[in-house]
Structure 1
Amino acid sequence: MTNHPNRPLGSSIPALAELELLHIIFEMETLEMAESISYPYNLLDPEAESYFETLEQEVLAAGWSMEDLSEQGQILSDRVEQLWSSFPSAVEDASVDELSSTLFQRFAARVPQQLLQTIAQRAQQVVSQNLSLADQLVLCVQECLPNWGEDDLQVFARPLAFQMRSPETEVLESTLQSIRADHWTELSEIEQARLSLVIARYAIIHAPHTDDQ
């Protein structure tokens, strides 16, 4: 990297180099704002090429080489790409957390929190898949009911999915009332399966859908 009098010792450290480059750019932007020169956000604008050529020459005059600019530009590009790629995951995690909280408020007295978390995660995944409601319900609860086969769960899921053509809240409440209000560990396996599927349907109702985001 080309040295110049104003550059502090140890500036070969990437973090310091990036800070110095950003400082130079900010100084130039501040000067341009004072001179009422607007940033060319439209890169197809004929004046954009002249703007960037001038900016490049000013950066080079400050002591940066083309190799420096290329290297730091790549670092910045990689960092932006990393942040951008993590954005969907962050949004999904936030959605799952919100859905888990909703389920916890409604069912915490009856079902372990980890089970509710699992159902919330699966519900968030299946709502964007082109599957029947019964299949979505089964996928939501399979991990919570390891002793149950898919075909057996479908026996309970299909009627529940069909009944949901009626007002959903009424059907959910009536189905919940038909299951003993004891804690999960006190329920029979059939009651656990039925309760899990009701919770799964509740989760699917409240999960953000793709077209809602």
Structure 2
Amino acid sequence: MVLSPHSSAGSSWETQAELDLLETVLSGDDVAYPWNPGECESLDETVALGDPLKVDDLNLGDRSPAFFEQLDSCMVYAHLCERFGSQVPASILKRLCDLAKQTCPEQSLLERLVGCVGDLFPQWAREDLQVLARPLAYAMRGNFQPEPSGDRPWDDLSDLEQARLSLVMAQVALQQLRNPL
């Protein structure tokens, strides 16, 4: 996983930690995690004595929806970093990922796309963003996967190019949230 050279120093260690966690969870290796059996009485003794620890063994209880939501978010962010990280600053990718998570599934695809990028482009009228988003919303009805339109750095793009690229990134994020793994 390659991180963007544009990522800020303050969030780069957080980004790397999230990506390391995601890689560990998704690697599928039967790695035994160190565990202190005294911390959790509900763990089966055989698990505590050396069998590999699985996610199901963690007894997350009421916290499991939040855990898996956070995991989905990390996966979406990692996917955005993989596809657009060399071109777009990590702070923008993170913000777009957060905005995509906040969209309401009951909204139209067009409104969800515009909702993802509206805060990134406050100078743009909502109607203008809708015009740019309309072809992408239509494509989302199928399984269309857009490719990035070039690899120029974010700061070298015009406002219009940044808006278009942001909408493509929003489309990818929304598709990932809709169809995790």
Task: Name the SS of the counterpart of 1:146 in structure 2.
Answer: coil
Preserved CA contact (<8 Å) 1:124 1:208: no
Please give the alpha-carbon distance, in whole angstroms, between the structure 2 residues aligned to 1:85 and 1:103.
Answer: 29
Preserved CA contact (<8 Å) 1:138 1:154: yes
Please give the alpha-carbon distance, in whole angstroms, between the structure 2 residues aligned to 1:207 and 1:129.
Answer: 10
Shift of 1:95: 1.3
Please give the alpha-carbon distance, in whole angstroms, between the structure 2 residues aligned to 1:151 and 1:120.
Answer: 22
Counterpart among 68, 71, 91 of residue 114 in structure 1: 91
Identity of aligned residues (%): 35
Q: Which residue is equivalent to 1:194?
A: 164
Please give the alpha-carbon distance, in whole angstroms, between the structure 1 residues aligned to 2:107 and 2:102.
Answer: 11
Shift of 1:121: 2.0
Question: Which AA in structure 2 matches 1:202?
Answer: V
Q: Which residue is equivalent to 1:156?
A: 132
1:35-74 alignment runs, 5 A limit: none
1:104-183 alignment runs, 5 A limit: 104-126=81-103, 129-165=105-141, 167-169=143-145, 172-173=146-147, 176-177=148-149, 180-183=150-153
Shift of 1:86: 3.9
Preserved CA contact (<8 Å) 1:104 1:113: yes
Preserved CA contact (<8 Å) 1:157 1:197: yes
TM normalised by structure 2 equals 0.59
CA separation of 1:189 and 1:208: change in aligned 2, threshold 3 A:
same
**What are the ranges of 5 or more consecutive residues in structure 2 without an aligned counterpart?**
1-37, 42-59
**CA deviations over 1:133-176 (Å, ceiling 9, x no partner):** 1111011112222222322211111122123445502xx12xx3
Please give the alpha-carbon distance, in whole angstroms, between the structure 2 residues aligned to 1:103 and 1:137.
Answer: 15
TM normalised by structure 1 equals 0.51
**CA deviations over 1:7-39 (Å, ceiling 9, x no partner):** xxxxxxxxxxxx9xx8xxxxxxxxxxxxxxxxx
Q: Which residue is equivalent to 2:55?
A: none
Task: Name the SS of the counterpart of 2:169 in structure 1.
Answer: helix
Higher-helix-fraction structure: 1
Please give the alpha-carbon distance, in whole angstroms, between the structure 2 residues aligned to 1:207 and 1:167.
Answer: 14
Preserved CA contact (<8 Å) 1:138 1:197: yes
Please give the alpha-carbon distance, in whole angstroms, between the structure 2 residues aligned to 1:113 and 1:149.
Answer: 25
Larger radius of gyration: 1
**CA deviations over 1:167-190 (Å, ceiling 9, x no partner):** 502xx12xx33xx42111110000
Preserved CA contact (<8 Å) 1:95 1:208: no
CA separation of 1:96 and 1:167: change in aligned 2, threshold 3 A:
closer
Question: Which AA in structure 2 matches 1:187?
Answer: L
Higher relative CO (CA 8 A, sep ≥ 6), structure 1 or 2?
2
> How many residue pairs get matched?
125
Please give the alpha-carbon distance, in whole angstroms, between the structure 2 residues aligned to 1:166 and 1:87.
Answer: 31
